[in-house]
Chains A and B, each alone.
Chain A
Amino acid sequence: MLKRLRERISLTDVFMWAVGAFLLYIIIRGSIATLVLGKYSARQWFDIAVSGLAQGSIYALIALGYTLVYGVLRMINFAHSEVFMGGAFTGYFAADYLNQIGQLQSQPVLSLLIVFTVSILTSVGISVLLERIAYRPLRRAPRLVPLITAIGASFVLQYVFRGFFGSQFKSYPEVDALQGNFTLMGDFTIGKIEVLVIISAAVLMLVLYTYVQRTKTGKAMRAVSEDKDVAALMGINVDAIIVRTFMLGAAMAGAAGVLYALMFRNVQFFMGFFPGIKAFTAAVLGGIGNIPGAMLGGIFLGLFESIGPSLFLDGLGIPAPYQMKDAIAFTMLVLVLIFRPTGILGERLATKKA
């Protein structure tokens, strides 16, 4: 009995469980300490949660691109973060122009729609080019090859944008209609921009989900992600579907780019890197290849990342806990991959197909 148990549990597993238990202990201890000390008021917690939710919806939108592409090609489109950056960047030029001619303030709804359209179109264009030039020739290559190509393409895009538009931060114009807060009850307020971000992300995700579930193209996408060869035999033009998948993911990333820029008011050529990695984390968190999973993962990651530092680390007396925000996100990625490689909603991919 004991021998069989010893055979089944290896030393590395024990080590991992120890690490997990230790982290869990930190989380619980930190949370209790923070709550007991009462460092933050209810209103502060609410603000932190709302900004986490808004950040999370942006992650979710980007994560959809990773998940969709992973679904059909089983590859991490590392350059997806640059698709997002490209959208935000061209969105800036549109917004800046509309601001100069006064449209942005006088007709904010129409102007924002134009900005969204411009950035979505750019993102879609970039990602179609990317697929055509960098990924399509490598359909049958060993797995590492497309990943390295994607990393290379990501750098090319970053530095081409840097060459085009310079390396300084460009600040998005303010939209007057989006300034200020809605008051909920008493002290509880919520920024108009955050409301816009959360609602538009929700709408976009709903549209995408319906598209994938209800339309014929969506059905074909699901078929291709199930089995490319069989899908081709069923008369599906696999290449065309793959391009559509890229376009769909890119459209979400383009919209996310504008939302991100509206929230943080800055664009720069390197802006895609961290949101990209986080969004990938979110996709894995939810179960990569799984669309509702990516949404859930994004929102979960956003919340975790914004509440985490104050909740777990502040109570432990760690100075400037918000600096650890990214570390918390990455730690979570590692933990999820170790203890639940399938993600929250996914099938078992990390070891089987990956």
Chain B
Amino acid sequence: MAVETLSKTKAPSAVPATMDFNWKTAGRIGFIGGILAVLVSVIGMVETFDGRDIIGGVISMGQTVVVALIFATAFMAADRSSKTSPLFHILGGGLSGLISAVMLALFVWVSQLVNLREIFVNVSPSLIAILTFDKELPAELSAAVIQLLLTGLVLGVVAGVLRAAPIKIRNIIFSGMLWVVAIGLLGELIRTLVTGRAIEDQVAWVLGGRLEKGLSVNGAVSIFIFASLLSFISQTFGARIGKEVQTRRAALPATTQRILNGVILLVVFLVLWQLPQYLGLYLSDVANTVGLYILMGLGLNIVVGFAGLLDLGYVAFFAIGAYVMGVATSSAVGDGRGQILFSLNWTFWEALPLAILVALFAGILLGIPVLKMRGDYLAIVTLGFGEIIRIMALSDYLKPNIGGAQGIVGIQPIILAGQNLSNPISLFHVVLIACVIVGFVAWRLRDSRVGRAWKAIREDEDVAAAMGINLVSTKLLAFGAGAAFSGLAGAIFASKLTSIQPGSFSFIVSINILALIIIGGMGSIPGVLVGALALVALPELLREFAEFRLLVYGVVLVMMMLYKPEGLLPEETHKAELHEDENIPAESHA
């Protein structure tokens, strides 16, 4: 605390410009970077991620995590340690990098002295090997420590140099590095996509062959150069071209604009329609999961984003949709394992409207008790509802009707005109159409009278009521609409798997959906797509993440709330609301 206030008051004050090197701040940030680096090592992230190489034989994803942490904190330290002198930026960065490395070295040293593994299960010899460049320990401990410190110092200095460099060059280099990491991460995916296609050899030159684990060195270099070039071009000409396009488009008559938008959307739709042919089974399945989350995200976006009612039990409606589909269509009736005593024996298409209607009705029904509650209370009560639904599904009491812990099996797949659509590729089309319909409905609702009423409630309930908005019906409509979307997702989910268990409807799903709309920006429809891609698609593709998925969600939620509460693709009014007390635009540091 004391250090911080000191540095904050000191930095911009009247100390002579040549003397403004703020080594305490740099040291403190380096210390934090070191703690974070040790933390990700101890919780096992580094070792788990080590299986995936970014550049084959050069750097793995696990090492990238540590390097990125040290580098990012050193950059921050370089930025904060001085206002004026490039030399001090470099010094600050170096100091921070060195201190982070010292922390890591200390950790390695302690791990040699005591058996940390007795308590911290993930501090394994292979973790230490990763951190010490595969040196023989303990014989080469000092050499390893020196190399570690040097690496930290170099990383810090590089970060400092980058901070001291003009912003344009910095952006070019950053985008180059980012693309190398991104393509390195997704390399395996791209390789599977092109397997057996004409461009396989060219891709292999960049990404390494099918059996290799990461980019080839020349591939990494060429991606870096290409991405930097692209960034250079977009920086130099991008803004001008973008403005040009925008002004020209604005000059067009309104109908032409609308047609243009329609054509663009149609093209996107057609491209997406063709997509599963290229994706293959596994990726289509991932895409379907993403699609279901988009459906739910769009629904929760109405409740949380538009109407500002924080619902933590949203999974309940997903479960209701799935269970209605199960009870209505299951063919496994009897007294055996996972079998229920009664089923309507409907087809998917007959049961779908029922599932949506029941979910909608349940949304309204559960909405009534919470009408008068606000904020935190609403959140906890809805969480309670979600848990009640899950407990009911699990209970022996309802077992004859909905299967208890074993759930329901034998649910009808989606069959249209004699064709089974429940294989991932055909299902993709079903999910896509559902997303388009639901997205359209959500978009029209947003701009309708009801949508404006929702936003008014979100801003201020009392004022909204005073303006003549009927709080009861408006809120219930939000709950109902959100629940109906989720019910649709649940129904498709049940048919997709043809069996459901209560375990699929835990609290985590609610948090997952909440996190994705927060990432995208509450109330923003494109934000839901971005959020679903970032939080559902990425973890599915990078399976190493699975273990740390919820950790990452947590970090993302906290970081977003602290630094960018409006989300990545914010809706305008909401952004303004969250930043209303910042009269002066925030100084942009980096």
Contacts and interface: CB of A to CB of B under 8 A. Distances in A.
B388 interface: yes
A143 B376 contact: yes
Contact of B555 (A152, A166, A277): A152
Nearest to B122: A163
B376 A319 contact: no
B376 A147 contact: yes
Interface in B509-554: 511, 514-515, 518, 548, 550-551, 553-554
B44 A15 contact: no
Given A151-B511, A160-B39, A166 B558 contact: no
Given A320-B396, A323-B394, A323-B396, A143 B375 contact: yes
A323 B391 contact: yes
A16 B369 contact: yes
Interface stretch (B150-158, B211-219, B290-298, B378-386): B378-386
A351 B374 contact: yes
Interface string B366-403: 00110111111101110111011001101111010000
Interface string B221-234: 00000000000000
Given A148-B514, A333-B384, A324 B397 contact: yes
Contacts of B388: 327, 330-331
Contacts of A273: 507
Interface stretch (A107-115, A132-140, A200-208, A248-256): A132-140
A76 interface: yes
B558 A144 contact: no
Chain B interface helix/strand/loop/mixed: helix
B355 to A, nearest CB: 23
Contacts of B415: none
Contacts of A148: 310, 514, 518, 557, 561
B548 A159 contact: yes
A325 to B, nearest CB: 9
Interface string A105-142: 00000000000000000000000000000100110111
Interface in B479-516: 507, 511, 514-515
Contacts of B372: 341, 350-351
A29 to B, nearest CB: 16
A143 B309 CA distance: 11
A107 to B, nearest CB: 23
Interface size grouping (class) on chain A? 35 or more
Contacts of B581: 140
A144 B43 CA distance: 30
Contact of A19 (B369, B379, B381, B472): B369
Interface in A193-250: none
A318 interface: yes
Contacts of A331: 384, 388
A155 interface: yes
A42 interface: no
A141 B578 CA distance: 8
Contacts of B44: 163
A156 B551 contact: yes
A125 B551 CA distance: 20
Contacts of A259: none
A143 B553 CA distance: 20
A137 B142 CA distance: 41
Most buried by A among B122, B374, B388: B388
Contacts of B43: 159-160, 162-164
Nearest to B1: A132
Nearest to A12: B368
Contact of B376 (A15, A75, A318, A324): A75
A141 B582 CA distance: 11
A154 interface: yes
A338 interface: yes
A40 interface: no
B565 interface: yes
Given A143-B375, A160-B43, A333-B380, 14 more contacts: A16-B368, A76-B379, A134-B558, A152-B554, A152-B558, A154-B554, A156-B554, A156-B555, A159-B554, A163-B122, A164-B42, A280-B380, A331-B388, A333-B381
18 contacts: A76-B380, A140-B581, A154-B554, A155-B551, A155-B553, A155-B557, A156-B551, A164-B42, A164-B121, A165-B121, A166-B122, A319-B396, A326-B387, A330-B385, A333-B380, A337-B373, A341-B377, A354-B376
Interface of B: 39, 42-45, 119-122, 308, 310, 312, 368-369, 371-377, 379-381, 383-385, 387-388, 391-392, 394-397, 399, 472, 507, 511, 514-515, 518, 548, 550-551, 553-558, 561-562, 565, 577-578, 581
